[in-house]
Chains A and B, each alone.
Chain A
Amino acid sequence: MTALFDDYDPGGPRFFDEVFGPTGEVRPHYRELVARLRSFTPQDLDRREVIRDRIFRSQGITFTVYGDASGPDSADEGVERTFPMDLLPRIIPVDEWATVEQGVAQRVTALNRFLDDLYVGEQAAVNDGVVPRWLLHTADGFRREAFGIPVPHAARCLVSGVDLVRDVDGTYRVLEDNLRNPSGISYVLENRAAMTRVLPVAFAQQRVRPVDHYGPSLLRALREVAPPAAGEHPTAVVLTPGQFNSAYFEHAFLARQMGIELVEGRDLVVDEHVVYMRTTRGLQRVDVIYRRIDDDFLDPVVFRPDSALGVPGLLSAARVGNVTIANAVGNGVADDKAVYAFVPDLIRYYLGEDPVLPNVDTYLLWEREQREAVLARLHELVVKPVAASGGYGMLIGPHASDQEIAIFRDRIEADPRGYIAQEVVSLSRHPTLVGEGFEGRHVDLRPFAIAGETVEVIPGGLTRVALRKGSLVVNSSQGGGSKDTWVLDGQPTGA
């Protein structure tokens, strides 16, 4: 019998390890799980990996990676990959989760207030100087076409994914907000379903809070934001760009979970500012659209005229209040990485509360003093383009060459509004199965919040893990994996 954790290096004090404390002791909420795993042989783990792989393949749980797209037919040639789930789950104890849940709900509530005030209100935060008007108007995700489009209960971010990391002392910090079309919830649900089959014994001794109410919760929120005129049984649909989109699996998954239609733009038609879907029995009115299409492709009348994915006239239907689009148009203004720096102030301004979850220390580069301080120590900082996501286009100073640093220096000087700089966060690490044993790998956490009349945070969320050694980038498109994420109900029995 091999002791699977004997050679494990928790990496302290450079990193916070999720499982092992500073002196190498197992943290109380992991004791039960680690004790169970100690009796496992490498063969036991192998066998479970085989079961896991079979489950994921047969369910077709994949996302599509487009490599060398080389022609109009290449859409068919994208490679379908699974998003590998590590066998060892990540566990969050109940008190820690209470903080995360409260902090995420607080943040989403404030952002919804801010966005609603910006697009259909008096723009109080702007008028009172909390956040500069020019900054909002120069954000990539700002859409003046969204002015005057109402959303009941101000639930403009109906679904949000707030990316959290833990620094070296274990403090949860917000890395970024995803307020447009956050994806990944299907992995949360599928990981849990797979885990209960792969490691049922691990669940036996502890109460793990369930996540499978996500579909019903999402449907309830969608119905809550239906236009008042829709009546008691509003019709909601999921709008997808189609089967060649990398997240199509998730779109189909969510439609199935909610038992509603998965439509494409060509299935919908707007007549006299009313949206209908084309069914075999004629046109059926649609009241709420959970769209997984980016703003720019939503309505060719208003946005990109060459887009065949959207629905002509959709925005005007939303503007007169005949249909609700979720998430709302223009939310991208608030997840711009420079606007992100103002979110703690927006929380104080709109809610009169201190932020529960701090930001990562962020420098705004259009201010000369901050910019010069940043340029002097680029090799110690992380630089991100304000509008990018998916981990693309970043500079990680400590890992960068002199040449890369010089390139970013030029870019920042040419376009200081286009970038932010942040202190490097030494993301926490979690034991992860690599080969025959466990090694520490960096993780983050994306809890999902659903806002309707109230805000609900789904227990846990998506834990992404950087499978490459030392990598700080956990995005699925960059070779990341995931972990089932458990929020324990009540205190661990081993405490």
Chain B
Amino acid sequence: MLARLAENLFWAGRYVERAEDATRMVDVTYHTLLESTSGEIEASWTQLLEVLHLRAAYGERPIEPVPVIEFLVLDRDNPNSIVTSILRARENARSVRELISSELWASINDLHLGLGARDLRQELAEQPYELFGMIRRACMGIYGVASETMPRDDAWRFMALGRVLERAEMTCRLIDVRHQQLEKLAGPTGRLPSGGERARGTDRADFHDWVAVLKSASAFEAYRRRYRASMDPADVVEFLLLEPDLPRSVVFCLSSAMHQLGVLSHGAPSRAARTLGRVTASLQYRDVGELFELGLHDFLEQVQHRVGEVAEAVADEFFRHHPGGSMQAVATT
């Protein structure tokens, strides 16, 4: 396959996921802040901008719900706004129309056109719930359509690889949105108190916050079935980060990326596979308490950084071939 098209597929997958996950994070922040004080509101939006690595891009504008939400959702000058991500997803998909199913193209195009037809500013000001729900459902619909209409060829795998790498990063950020509360929980020693103490220490407001985090990862019901009624923040972190069977957990995404990458490179050793293997191993079989002792925020940052390195290595291995480069020229067929 042409390298450029593979890269477009990879980024189409990433951008749809980025739009979906950003929507989840804005949604959860917005709805948990409805009954908060203005100081909490400012702190929370600042934190969200920081974990999305957009604090500098936001600049000197006031940290208030309306301008921040507009910046994150519909600002075309923000390269990571939801509207921009969907536009980029569409551009990438458009250039690979020959390689994807027409249903998949239509579902991405419909989302783009659908957003263009709405008065986003007014919806955000009045009642964003409906809009956030629509974007989330549309993004999940796109994967559903892709999954049901695409043969499992390289085109599919590059798109799937982009998606799971993006999701791994974004789930890290979703947890990181709450890192201040988590560090408060562990205290200056970094050592977690026992489970019972933690559960008792989680007050009612925190409880709702953690429910919201789980819900934004579509993981609340699964969490309840696993951990019953107890709402322990450390359990939430463990679940979202380390649970091998949860489709949005970081470990799940990285394992899935390892699988796709293995098939794409026919199992040949590569820098991408090594980097990915290392970061996956750093999570597997980990005890959540250890992560708190290491410093959860730093650890999450490090995982994101490593995932970025994987994406770079994937680009080097598959997308950027230069004459005289390390790749062998394949025989003419």
The interface of chain A, by Cβ under 8 A from chain B, is 230-231, 233, 235, 243, 252, 255-256, 261-264, 266-267, 269, 271-272, 276-285, 287
16 A-B residue pairs with CB within 8 Å: A235-B332, A243-B95, A256-B98, A269-B321, A269-B322, A269-B323, A278-B4, A279-B3, A280-B3, A280-B6, A280-B318, A282-B321, A282-B329, A283-B323, A283-B330, A284-B332
State which of B2, B94, B98, B332 has its C-beta within 8 Å of the C-beta of A278: B2
B1-38 contacts to A, CB under 8 A, are 1-4, 6
Cα distance, A89 to B142, chains bound together (Å): 41
The answer to whether A267 and B323 touch (CB under 8 A), given A243-B94, A282-B330, is no
Chain A residue, CB-CB nearest to B154: A280
Q: In the complex, are the beta carbons of A233 and B333 less than 8 A apart?
A: yes
Task: Enumerate the 9 nearest inter-chain pairs by beta-carbon distance, A residue then B residue, closest first.
Answer: A271-B323, A282-B327, A278-B3, A283-B329, A280-B318, A278-B321, A280-B6, A285-B332, A282-B330
A residues less than 8 Å from B320 (CB atoms):
278
State which of B319, B322, B328 has its C-beta within 8 Å of the C-beta of A280: B319
Q: In the complex, are the beta carbons of B332 and A233 less than 8 A apart?
A: yes
Cα distance, A276 to B324, chains bound together (Å): 12
The answer to whether A235 and B3 touch (CB under 8 A), given A262-B98, A280-B154, is no
CB distance from A76 to the nearest CB of B (A): 8
State which of A231, A233, A256, A276 has its C-beta within 8 Å of the C-beta of B323: A276
B residues less than 8 Å from A230 (CB atoms):
332
Chain A residue, CB-CB nearest to B266: A281
B residues less than 8 Å from A271 (CB atoms):
323-324
Q: How many chain B residues touch the partner (CB < 8 A)? A: 25
Cα distance, A267 to B319, chains bound together (Å): 10
B residues less than 8 Å from A284 (CB atoms):
329-330, 332-333
A271-B323, A278-B2, A278-B4 given. 17 additional CB < 8 A pairs? A230-B332, A233-B333, A235-B332, A243-B94, A252-B98, A255-B98, A256-B98, A266-B4, A271-B324, A276-B329, A277-B2, A278-B320, A279-B330, A282-B330, A283-B327, A283-B329, A283-B330
The answer to whether A235 and B333 touch (CB under 8 A), given A263-B2, A267-B3, is yes
A residues less than 8 Å from B2 (CB atoms):
261, 263, 267, 277-280
B residues less than 8 Å from A277 (CB atoms):
2
A residues less than 8 Å from B330 (CB atoms):
279, 281-284
Chain B residue, CB-CB nearest to A264: B4
B residues less than 8 Å from A255 (CB atoms):
98
B247-278 contacts to A, CB under 8 A, are 264
A residues less than 8 Å from B4 (CB atoms):
264, 266-267, 278
Most A Cβ at <10 Å: residue of B95, B97, B324, B327:
B327
A residues less than 8 Å from B327 (CB atoms):
281-283
Chain B residue, CB-CB nearest to A235: B332
Cα distance, A287 to B321, chains bound together (Å): 19
B residues less than 8 Å from A279 (CB atoms):
1-3, 321, 330
CB distance from A185 to the nearest CB of B (A): 18
Chain B residue, CB-CB nearest to A283: B329
Cα distance, A285 to B330, chains bound together (Å): 8
CB distance from B313 to the nearest CB of A (A): 14
Q: In the complex, are the beta carbons of A283 and B321 less than 8 A apart?
A: yes
Cα distance, A488 to B323, chains bound together (Å): 52
The answer to whether A285 and B329 touch (CB under 8 A), given A271-B323, A278-B321, is yes
B residues less than 8 Å from A231 (CB atoms):
332
Cα distance, A284 to B333, chains bound together (Å): 9
